[in-house]
Amino acid sequence: MRVAAFSTKAYDREFLLRASAGTPIEWCWFEVQLEADTARLAEGAVAVNCFVNDRLDARTLAILSGLGVRLVTLRCAGFNGVDLVAAARLHMPVVRVPEYSPHAVAEHTLGLILALNRRLPRAFNRVRDGNFSLEGLLGFDLFGRTAGVIGTGHIGRCVAEILLGFGCHVLAHDPHPDAPLMGRGVRYVAIDDLLSSSDIITLHCPLTPATHHLINQASIARLRPGVMLINTSRGGLIDTSAVITALKTGHIGHLGLDVYEEEGSLFFDDHSGTIINDDVFTRLLTFPNVVITAHQAFFTANALEAIASQTVRNLLHLERGEPLEAVVTA
């Protein structure tokens, strides 16, 4: 079975090839993102395999369907890049990897919190430069602080557990509260209470029309002055311009991002020799209290192994005519 895999890097190919050894899967690798202009590359494939910034809008899906593609497989948990209504209309199931390593993303989230609080990037650069001054590196104890976790699914649950381990008071907001977390001391509250009572806020809900720009001018007004905001979920949860305004006034004291609303044209590629034309993104880079990583929270060997093996399983279900797993519906 021929599978057109888009947005692939050498590391994706290595893990997918290993997981599919001995199976009838025949990969066609493409570095380009899947979108309407590149969809014809999937000619001859029965399935496509895509990643977070591929754009499977109605037009792209119609082209794929016309080429005979019967299945969309995602190498990720988030499915905000797929028009699920259009896919259903075309009878093209969409399957994802719902849980590959929540620990990978949760641990990176804590990495951002610690890097921001203890100003590790600045400290690292100072020491390399022979500057051993501590001025400007003052942090705070996480112990005893209040952390708000928005979305306590696979990843948010792990983040809450790690924060409990640090001795934080953990508040959470999720339409589906997690009983074991409550048993461990996590307190579910209304979103406004979480926003106004947390010293650290970390986002782990999916990007949907309801959560788009969850952090905006109005919600920022409710935040504690000096709050630390972390987003390792999806860029569209945050109105970046509103956050920049709040960083300039100091209302937001620290910002840690692994995702960015317009990351599609930047992340996963080396732009170090070119001019970056996104003025919003470059403004973010000028703040000493902002740490940005380029969508790497998932990037552990454990996660890549799990993504590859679930992807291969998803494809073999189609090949064998078995019921599909992890189907995403609108």
Shortest Å, Cβ 79 to ligand NAD = 8
Least gap, CB of 81 to ligand NAD (angstroms) = 10
What are the distances in angstroms from CA 163 to CA 106, 157, 168, 201, 285? 10, 10, 6, 11, 27
> In the complex with ligand NAD, which residue's Cβ is closer, 39 or 115?
115
| Catalytic status, residue 173 | no
Catalytic residue among 234, 254, 313, 317: 234
Catalytic residue among 35, 161, 261, 263: 263
Answer positive or negative: Cα dihedral of 146, 263, 155, 207: positive
CB of 97 to ligand NAD, least distance (A): 9
Measured from the Cβ of residue 58, the count of other Cβ atoms closer than 10 Å reads 14
Active site annotation includes 313: no
Residue nearer to ligand NAD on the CB measure, 157 or 313:
157
Annotation says 295 is catalytic: yes
In the complex, least distance from residue 138 CB atom to ligand NAD, rounded to whole angstroms: 29
Token readout for 33 is 């993102």
Question: Between 153 and 264, whose beta carbon lies closer to ligand NAD?
Answer: 153
The number of C-alpha atoms within 13 Å of 225 and in the hemisphere containing its C-beta is: 3
Task: Tell me how crowded residue 282 is: count the other CB atoms within 10 A of its CB.
Answer: 11
86 vs 97 by CB, closer to ligand NAD: 97
Active-site residue, from 96, 295, 313, 317: 295
E strand spans, the chain: 2-5, 26-29, 47-50, 71-74, 94-95, 146-150, 169-173, 187-188, 200-203, 227-231, 252-257, 290-292
Residues that bind ligand NAD (CB under 6 A): 77-78, 99, 102, 105, 150-156, 173-176, 204-207, 210-211, 232-234, 258-259, 295, 297-298
- First-to-last alpha carbon distance for the chain, in angstroms, is 27
Catalytic residues, which ones? 234, 263, 295
